[in-house]
């Protein structure tokens, strides 16, 4: 079964190909991009879980070792732990060996993610039952966690080569959160594991934005209820956003004629309303990404969508 529309897969592949054309990247560029993405992901991933540090404060804590007045020490420790977990991913990728995801590796990642804040349970499966606040899904009974994790690893080994890398990484993300194998840090761990799978395939880190927290939980709930496609599409949009950022930095001439603007402005130059463009953006039908809270796209992207629709009609 395919979980992503063909046009989304095509866009992702075209952008990854363009990125690969510029590899190997200069070491200084790689270092700067890795740090920028790691700080951004650390801020957003922690903020989704309630961390109060701003993006700038997160950077100060990580880069300068500062203590932010009025902010809980736990928030500082979470920032450092998460950043170190991503540094571990980069180290694995730098060694150039394809990492086989195992229970031990997942537990190691969890240990890094909560090392300073939950030191007594870091890297160990929960020993009791849990409920997820605000969610209808109830994680497996504690007695079933070890077998559920073994089943997850077995599923991964049987499906990795059958699915598109973004589909595979997104589904693993959901399955891990669904099991909820740890007392704390499940979401952060799942997002890091997902990104290890993406990095291994040449993609940059994909960040679930704090501003998309509500949508993130909605599509996770949809996946819990049996329809995982909205969640996979949501993750694919995060991946495409990261590819756009990378290409903008390393290949500024790519699509330099395209000007990305808010949907309300693009609507004035196309046959569609801003509301309909929003629908197309959210469902991945047009090339679009979020800047802060707002979707942006280009007139060229909408024109490509129109041409593709006409081509599909002519085939019928």
Q: Is 110 a catalytic residue?
A: no
Burial class (CB in 10 A: 0-12, 13-18, 19+), 167: buried
Extract the tokens encoding 120: 């007594």
**Measured between alpha carbons, how far is 16 from 92 in angstroms, rounded to an integer?**
20
Computed on alpha carbons and rounded to an integer, the radius of gyration of the chain in Å comes to 20
C-alpha span between 60 and 78 (Å, rounded) = 13
How many CB atoms are closer than 10 A to CB 224? 18
* Catalytic option among 110, 173, 174, 180: 180
- Cα separation, 58 vs 189, in Å, equals 18
Residue (of 209, 210, 141, 216) closest to 174 by Cα position = 216
Task: Provide the sign of the torsion angle of the four alpha carbons 129, 130, 135, 140, taken in this order.
Answer: negative
Catalytic center residues: 180
């Amino acid at each position: 079964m395919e979980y992503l529309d063909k046009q989304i897969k095509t866009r992702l592949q075209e952008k990854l190909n363009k990125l690969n054309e510029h590899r190997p990247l200069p070491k200084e560029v790689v270092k700067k991009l890795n740090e920028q993405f790691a700080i951004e992901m650390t801020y957003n991933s922690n903020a989704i879980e309630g961390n109060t540090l701003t993006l700038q404060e997160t950077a100060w804590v990580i880069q300068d070792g500062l203590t932010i007045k009025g902010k809980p020490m736990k928030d500082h420790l979470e920032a450092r732990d998460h950043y170190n977990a991503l540094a571990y991913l980069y180290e694995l990728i730098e060694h150039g060996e394809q990492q086989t995801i195992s229970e031990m590796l997942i537990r190691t990642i969890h240990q890094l993610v909560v090392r300073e804040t939950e030191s007594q349970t870091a890297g160990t499966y929960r020993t009791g039952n849990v409920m997820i606040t605000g969610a209808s899904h109830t994680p497996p009974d504690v007695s079933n966690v070890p077998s559920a994790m073994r089943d997850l690893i077995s599923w991964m080994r049987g499906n990795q080569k059958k699915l598109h890398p973004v589909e595979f990484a997104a589904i693993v993300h959901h399955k891990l959160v669904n099991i909820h194998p740890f007392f704390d840090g499940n979401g952060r761990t799942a997002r890091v594991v997902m990104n290890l799978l993406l990095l291994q395939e040449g993609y940059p880190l994909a960040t679930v934005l704090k501003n998309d927290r509500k949508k993130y939980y909605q599509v996770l709930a949809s996946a819990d209820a049996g329809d995982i496609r909205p969640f996979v599409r949501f993750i694919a949009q995060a991946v495409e956003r990261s590819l756009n950022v990378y290409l903008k930095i390393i290949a500024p001439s790519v699509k330099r004629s395209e000007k990305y603007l808010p949907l309300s402005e693009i609507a004035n130059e196309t046959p569609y309303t801003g509301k309909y463009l929003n629908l197309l953006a959210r469902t991945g039908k047009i090339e679009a990404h979020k800047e802060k809270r707002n979707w942006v796209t280009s007139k060229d992207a909408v024109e490509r969508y129109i041409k593709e629709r006409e081509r599909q009609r002519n085939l019928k």
